[in-house]
């Protein structure tokens, strides 16, 4: 059975020329922040999930379609954060590698090849998801995999810079985005919430001070449950008050 074209379902007639979308999809698991990447079998580089914008779509409509295709999820928390326009951002040798590999599975026209080899500007979005809600694709020609944000593989084009820029943006907006609510499961330990902030802020936070300030907001509700991570140090579980979740970060940022 022949493999589907790399460009499917995009054609030069139905997409906006020279414009792409890249998504930094973040999840939290085992005290680490993870980013979702995918890799085509015709390339040695991992890359951010992304795609192109159909001529009859807005960028927000396009990214929602792309994210649903990649994660199977709808109503994901996502925000547009930067337009990447550096003329040198596209590594043409990598795109040529894609075109040559794609020729083995389909017969693209010379116009399609030239379209893919043109300069692209890319609109970046970041998204927060629950790690366990994502079902990874195991299709050989297009794999998806979680990577520790601090240990990334060799990435396509300027995608390392896109990830770096997304984290800088999230850090600057931490007072106004419900990052903990979007990344954590319904029930969580205080240490897990603190760890998210430590990763994003790139600094260690005092455990007692963090807990005191979080609880003083009234946004976190203590449950009559514990999480047995060890016999000697069980963790009390908490949950977010959904009516107040958008206010937590204002206080935490002042630490």
pLDDT tens track for 141-185: 788 999 999 999 999 999 999 999 999 999 999 888 889 999 999
pLDDT category at 113 given cuts 50, 70, 90 is: confident
pLDDT category at 233 given cuts 50, 70, 90 is: confident
pLDDT of residue 186: 94
pLDDT of residue 196: 95
What are the residue ranges of helices labelled H in 1-91?
A: 59-71
pLDDT of residue 13: 85
The closest of 119, 116, 112, 23 to 71, measured between CA atoms, is 23
Please name the residues in contact with 145: beta carbons below 8 A apart, sequence gap of 6 or more.
Answer: 36, 37, 38, 39, 46, 136
Q: Are 146 and 28 in contact (CB under 8 A)?
A: no
- pLDDT, tens only, 19-34: 999 999 999 999 999 9
pLDDT of residue 239: 94
pLDDT of residue 122: 97
- pLDDT, tens only, 52-74: 999 999 999 999 999 998 888 88
pLDDT category at 1 given cuts 50, 70, 90 is: very low
For 249: left if phi > 0, alpha if psi spans -120 to 50, otherwise beta; the answer is alpha
Model confidence at 6: pLDDT above 80: no
The fold of 15-173 is: Nucleoside Triphosphate Pyrophosphohydrolase (3.90.79)
List where CATH 1.10.10.10 sits in the chain.
179-253
- pLDDT, tens only, 83-97: 999 998 887 777 777
Instruction: State the CATH class of domain 179-253.
Output: mainly alpha
Q: Are 157 and 119 in contact (CB under 8 A)?
A: no
pLDDT of residue 218: 84
> Which comes out higher in pLDDT, residue 115 or 47?
47
- Encoded tokens for 74: 């709808």
List where CATH 3.90.79.10 sits in the chain.
15-173
pLDDT of residue 85: 96
pLDDT category at 43 given cuts 50, 70, 90 is: confident
Mean pLDDT of the chain, nearest integer: 86
> DSSP assignment, residue 175?
G
- pLDDT, tens only, 184-223: 999 999 999 999 999 999 999 999 999 998 888 888 899 9
């Amino acid at each position: 059975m022949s493999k589907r074209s790399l460009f499917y379902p995009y054609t030069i007639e139905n997409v906006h020329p020279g414009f792409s979308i890249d998504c930094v999809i973040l999840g939290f698991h085992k005290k680490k922040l993870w980013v979702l990447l995918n890799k085509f079998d015709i390339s040695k580089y991992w890359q951010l999930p992304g795609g192109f914008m159909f001529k009859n779509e807005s960028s927000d409509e396009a990214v929602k379609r792309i994210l649903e295709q990649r994660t199977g999820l709808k109503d994901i928390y996502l925000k547009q954060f930067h337009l990447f326009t550096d003329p040198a951002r596209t590594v043409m040798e990598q795109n040529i590698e894609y075109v040559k590999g794609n020729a083995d599975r389909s017969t693209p026209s010379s116009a399609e090849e030239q379209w893919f080899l043109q300069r692209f500007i890319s609109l970046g979005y970041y998204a927060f998801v629950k790690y366990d809600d994502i079902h990874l694709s195991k299709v050989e020609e297009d794999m998806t995999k979680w990577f520790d944000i601090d240990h990334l593989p060799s990435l396509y084009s300027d995608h390392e810079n896109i990830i770096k820029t997304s984290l800088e943006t999230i850090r600057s907006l931490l007072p106004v985005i419900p990052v903990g609510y979007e990344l954590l499961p319904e029930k969580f330990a205080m240490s897990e919430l603190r760890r998210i902030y430590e990763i994003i802020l790139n600094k260690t936070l005092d455990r007692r001070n963090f807990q005191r300030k979080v609880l003083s907001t009234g946004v976190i509700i203590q449950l009559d449950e514990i999480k047995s991570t060890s016999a000697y140090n069980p963790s009390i579980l908490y949950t977010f008050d959904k009516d107040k979740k958008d206010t937590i970060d204002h206080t935490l940022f002042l630490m």
